[in-house]
Every structure is written in C-alpha cells, then in structure tokens.
Amino acid sequence: MLRLLAGAPVQAPLGERLAWLEGLLGWLRAGGAVPTQRGRLAPAEPAGSARLRLLAEVLAELPSDCEALREVVASVLAETRALELLTEPGLSGGRGLMGDAAIRLGRRLVPAAHDEHALATQVWRLFPDEESAAWLEELSDEHVLSLYTLLRGPAGDRTFAPLASAVDDAVSVLAARVSARGTASDVLARLPDAPLEHSPFLQLPRACEALRHAVREGARKGELERVRAACAETVASCRAAVHSVLAQMHESAVDSDLVYRLDQLVHSLDRLEALLWLRAPDRPRAAPRATVRLLSELVRARAQERSVTVLFRSSMRYVSRRIFEHTGEVGRHYITESKDEYRRLFSAAAGGGLLTAGTAALKVAISFAALPLFFDGLAASTNYALSFLLIQLLGFTLATKQPSMTAAALAATLDVKAGDKGLPGLVKQLARINRSQLASVFGNISAVVVTATVVGTALWALRGRPMMDAHEAEYVLRSLHPLESGTLLFAAFTGVLLWCSSVFGGWLENWVSYRRLPEALARHRGLQRLLGPDRARWLGEALGRNACGLGANVSLGLLLGMTPVVCRFFGLPLDVRHVTLGAGTLAFAGTSLGPERLLSPDFLWAVAGIGGVAVMNLTVSFALGLRASLGSRGMKPLGVLRLARAVLAGGLRSLSEFVLPPQRLLPARRPTSPYGVLSAERPRSAQRSSPDDVGPH
C-alpha cells in the first residue's frame, strides 16, 4: 500500500491515473489478515472495512500522500462525465419493454464502445459485478466518513464539486423523465379525474428544483427542512399515483408494457430520491455513507440489466397474476360441494364425452388418410378446435379442462401464514377438487367409450366392414401400450400443452379487455352498417364473454394438431396423448377387432395406457397450474410429504372424500346456464367468461 501511495501519478494521463486507482482498489478488496498501522492485528471485521480503516490511518499521518490521492481523485472526477452513471443503470430511456429487451440482446452480441471520459465506464471497470456491490455494503460507516473527510481536505468540497454538479443535473433529468412518463395518456386515463395542474408528476420537477436551489443558496435549516418535506410529499404522491394505476389495471386488465413503464417509473423515483437526499441529507455527516449505498445500488442495477429474464420478470408477474386470478374464479365452478352439483358436473362431462366420440372418429379418418404433412396437421387442428368450441357452446365440459383452473382456485384460497393450522381446510378443498375431477373423467370416458362403441358397431353393420382395418387397429393398441411405447411421456407432454392453452386463453381475455375491443366493435361504423347497431353491439359483448374460451380452445386445437406435425418435421420423437380422445380411438379399435380381442393382453395393456394418460394429463396440468398461480402471488409451493401427512391424519374417512361423491345435501349454488356446469345464472364475478372459457380440454 505504501508503495502504491508513493507512486500516485498526479500529472500522468487519465488512463494511467485510472489504472493506479484500480490497483489501489484491488489492494482494498484483497483478502487475508489486515495489520494496523502500528503492527497489531486488526479486530475481527470484514477485510475490506479493515483495509479501508488502515488506509485512512496511513493517509492521516502522511499528508503528502493524502494530497496526492486527493489530486488524483479530483482530476479524474473533473475529466469524466458522471451524468450517465447516475441516470442510466437499471433505468429505461423510454424505449418500452420490447425496446429495452432488444437493447440488452444487442449488448450481448456487440459490446459497447469504450469511452474513457465516461465515469460509468471506469466505475464498471472497478466494480464489475454484484460481489463488488456486496463488498461496498460491508464497509464501515465510520471508516467511509474518515476517508471522505481526508479527501475533502482543507479546501472543502473542491474535490467532489464535479460530482455534486452531476448529481444536480441527474436530478433534473430524472424529474423530467418521471414527469413525462407519469403524464402519458395511458397513465392519465387510469388515474382519478382531476385537473392536470394538480398532478404530482407535473409538480415534481418544480419541487426538485426548489430543493436544489435551497441547497445551492445555503438556506437556513428550517427553510431547508420545509422544502425537503414538500419534495418528499410530492415523491410520495407520485408513488401513490403509480399504485393507483396498478390497482386499476389489476381490477380490469393488465398490459405488460405499461406495467414495465410503471415499474421503471418507480425505480426512477427511487433513484431520484436517493440523489435528492444525497444533496440534502436529513442529518449531518450522512452524505458519505449515502454515496457508498448509492454506488452499491448502481453496481447491482448494472449487473442485473444484463439479464433479459430479469427485464420481463416484474412486468409479467402482474400479467400472470391477472390471468391466474381470472382462471381461479372460473375454476371454482368445477369444485363440487353438494350431490346436485356433483350430478350436474357428471352430466356435463358425459355430454362432452359424447361429442368427443365424433371428434375421435374424425381423428381416426384424418390419421389414416395419408395427407401431406402440413394438411394433416391443419385438418387435425381444425377438427379439435371446432369440437372444443362446440362443447363450450353447448355447456358441456372435458376433464382435461379442469386441472389448471382448479389449481388456480386452490392457490387463491391458500393462506401461507396459517401454517399447519390451515392444512385441514386445505385437505378438504383438495378432496373436493379430486372427486370433482374424477367425476369429469368418469363422465367423459364412459360417454365416449359407449358412444364410440355404438357408432363403430353401427358403421360395421351398415358398411359391411369395420371402421379400421386390422393393421390400423393393431397400430392403435401398440401406440397406447404404457411400457412399449412413449405413451406416458407423450401424455405428460400433452399436460404441458393443456396448461399452455389455458394461459393463452387467459392472456387473450386480458388483451381483449385492455384494448376494450367489445366497445370498439359495438361502435365500429362498418360493422354497424353491415350488421346494424344492435347486432354489432351483440358481437362485441359476445367477444368479451367468450374471449377466453375462443383463445383456449383454438390454441389447444392448434397445439394438439400441429405439434406432432412440427415434431415429425424436425425429427423429434414426440407426440400427443389426450385421455378422452385416446379412449374414443381405443373404443373404435376395439369394435374393429371384435369382442374376442377385448380380453387379450394387448388390448388390456392399451386400457392401462389410457389410465396412465389420464393420470399424466391431469397431474402435469394441475401441477403447472398450481405452481404458476402460487408464483404469481409470490407464494412457495407446499411440501408433498407435509400434505400427505395431513391427508393420512384424517384416516379412511378423509381418503374416501377424495373419491366418493359428497354425502351432505347442501343447497346448490345458483347455476349459470351456458356458463357453468354447476349453475343457471351467471355470477357477477364470472361475467367475463365461462368455466369453458378458460383452460384446456
């Protein structure tokens, strides 16, 4: 250290001075035991803080070396620009979510040019990662203050005058940015009606300028505190306005780009507040530690802004929570509590299974038609999508639609603070979900098997030959074997697709609501001339009610139909297995092979494969839905063993509730005709879409 201090390059070029400072900082960050100036070992404290204390002790006793260090620091600050360092790290320049994502990807491919006169470039060279930020946070306030006092010297703030000027400029820049973003049209539209002149975003630049002026003019303590309090109140009002906009979006619809801009606005307020209190600290001698804390935050922000994942995480959290909360509201209609609700759910599932038999018949015809690859996928996708939309229109349901929605409903009822006391209620809710899911599965499979058997037998009688030839039927049996084919893997993969379609349906509903498409269609002059005002309004309202179902059903049809085609195109050994469609296809194969094959090992293995497909479809979809819903609320998943102990603690009675229909005769919830399996009048909480609007089939 003494050799470093003795060789301070006061008159050297800027690059050499920066290299010397880097060497001094490297000594400060070195590990190992740190002696005191008098040769004794330092007391137990972080190595960086101990070395900083030793440096301050040495500089206090070597005035010439202290003056040389002061000159180097002052000249570096005078010859570099600090504005970019204070206003850019972690903050967007107004480009929006996708613009900033493109900038970050571009920086990964093409590094930024080195600018020797930008202080930010030198700071990132000295503090390159988050470990540097952690080291800064470990420094003792007392030692930081000692070094700051020595560097100021007898001339007062001359050393740090360029930095103070840059802070003033940064305050002006950030206040202007906050004001511009806070008065954007989509932000003002979501704030309570009030005269624009009363907006805190417009008042913020004036309040910041008043505080800067008071500091520059050396205002008295009382006046300075008054101006500081007024500025703090304006900043707090800006934060409250941002929270008001977020709350309004949470109640209606969320836009990821707007959420990102609001998030950036909050970060800008944080940075602005840190700079203001740096220039006007609320207590004496607080500025040095505030400077180190700000530097640590800048280093962390710089390290995090390299990641594209971090960029999307915050804004997508609000969108995902909006989607999963809506899905949870709809999912509650699939949870039965009374015998009447249970019967309604089973009947609706049987109706869905009956229609799926026709879908399975068309699927068989398309599969063995040897169409070109693209048209094979297009025909299958159209078949699935139209079938799912018809099921929704008639108020029926499929079992695979439920898991992602009931998982979201379960996540909405969890209280992580309840601890083990809340587990009995959680077990009861899981029991209701499980028996409701089993009712849908049995309703779907029984109806599709019976219908497919009757249709297959009737076609054989009318045509004089079975629906499939022997080779095609044997292929179906082999493709469903749980051990000799990839059926279980394909079923798990299909569970992922089922969950993805529910997410897309929720996203589309949110997008339609945010863009106010129902109102736009109702007032569209072209539609009004073509259909008439009443029909145009009806079309808009229908889109608002059924956006989720339209998005989920069409996306699921495309995923189930096109995924095998795309996988075959790229040579990937992946396929899809849907339990209800698979059961219908197997029933057609059974009628084609004849009753003598129904007890053969190959057919029984295929039946077991259908059971495995059901488990994998429902389990994967439910697990993904629950994990995503909990994550959107910032909650941690429950331990499986902890939950299993709570279930077993209830004994056989608790286990029977997971399978058997409810025994209590509770009044059924008020039904909602086309919208739910369980009700004839749609509740206000579900006015936007039906249980079949969200979630996959």
| Res 454 pLDDT > 80 | yes
| Portion of the chain with pLDDT greater than 70, in percent | 82
Which tens digit of pLDDT belongs to each residue from 480-515? Answer: 999 999 999 999 999 999 999 888 888 888 888 888
417 and 465: one domain? Answer: yes
Which pairs from 369-375 meet CB under 8 Å and 24+ separation? Answer: 373/565, 373/568, 373/569, 374/565
Section 574-592 average pLDDT: 94
Q: Kindly state whether residue 84 falls inside one of the protein's structural domains.
A: no
How would DSSP label each residue in 645-674? HHHHHTHHHHHHTTTSPP-S-PPPPPPBTT
283 and 342: one domain? Answer: no
289 and 379: one domain? Answer: no
Q: Kindly state whether residue 3 falls inside one of the protein's structural domains.
A: yes
Q: Residue 107 — pLDDT band, cuts 50, 70, 90?
A: confident
**44-53, 221-230, 648-657: least confident range:** 648-657
The better pLDDT of the pair 253, 176 is held by 176
Q: How many Cβ atoms sit within 10 Å of the Cβ of residue 340?
A: 17
Section 376-400 average pLDDT: 92
| Res 40 pLDDT > 70 | no
Q: Residue 683 — pLDDT band, cuts 50, 70, 90?
A: very low
Q: Residue 15 — pLDDT band, cuts 50, 70, 90?
A: confident
d(CA 681, CA 678): 10
| Res 569 pLDDT > 80 | yes
Section 357-362 average pLDDT: 94
d(CA 101, CA 311): 7
Boundaries of domain holding 652: 320-686
- Cα of first residue to Cα of last residue in the chain, in angstroms, is 71
290 and 327: one domain? Answer: no
Section 165-194 average pLDDT: 90
Section 97-117 average pLDDT: 75
**97-106, 290-299, 395-404: least confident range:** 97-106
363 and 418: one domain? Answer: yes
Q: Kindly state whether residue 314 falls inside one of the protein's structural domains.
A: no
| Res 612 pLDDT > 70 | yes
44 and 99: one domain? Answer: no
140 and 207: one domain? Answer: no
| Portion of the chain with pLDDT greater than 90, in percent | 33
- Which pLDDT score, from 0 to 100, does residue 638 have? 58
Q: Kindly state whether residue 694 falls inside one of the protein's structural domains.
A: no
Residue 356 CA from chain centroid, whole number: 34
222 and 149: one domain? Answer: no
Q: Residue 678 — pLDDT band, cuts 50, 70, 90?
A: very low
Q: Residue 690 — pLDDT band, cuts 50, 70, 90?
A: very low
| Res 539 pLDDT > 70 | yes
Of 280, 306, 332, which residue constitutes the final position of a domain? 306
| Residue 53 contacts residue 40 (beta carbons within 8 Å) | no
- Which pLDDT score, from 0 to 100, does residue 685 have? 36
Of 257, 277, 306, which residue constitutes the final position of a domain? 306
- Which pLDDT score, from 0 to 100, does residue 652 have? 53
| Residue 403 contacts residue 437 (beta carbons within 8 Å) | yes
CATH number, position 593: 1.20.1080.10
Q: Is residue 390 packed enough to be buried (19+ CB in 10 Å), middle (13-18) or exposed (0-12)? A: middle
241 and 328: one domain? Answer: no
Q: Kindly state whether residue 311 falls inside one of the protein's structural domains.
A: no
Q: Kindly state whether residue 315 falls inside one of the protein's structural domains.
A: no
287 and 376: one domain? Answer: no
CA distances to 521, 539, 669 from 533, rounded to whole Å, are 10, 10, 36
45 and 97: one domain? Answer: no
Q: Kindly state whether residue 85 falls inside one of the protein's structural domains.
A: no
Section 447-463 average pLDDT: 92
**271-275, 335-339, 384-388: least confident range:** 335-339
- Which pLDDT score, from 0 to 100, does residue 376 have? 93
Q: Which residues contact 517 (CB under 8 A, 6 or more apart)?
A: 540, 543, 544
Count: domains in the chain: 3
| Residue 99 contacts residue 257 (beta carbons within 8 Å) | no
Q: Residue 444 — pLDDT band, cuts 50, 70, 90?
A: very high
- Which pLDDT score, from 0 to 100, does residue 157 have? 67
251 and 370: one domain? Answer: no
Q: Kindly state whether residue 529 falls inside one of the protein's structural domains.
A: yes
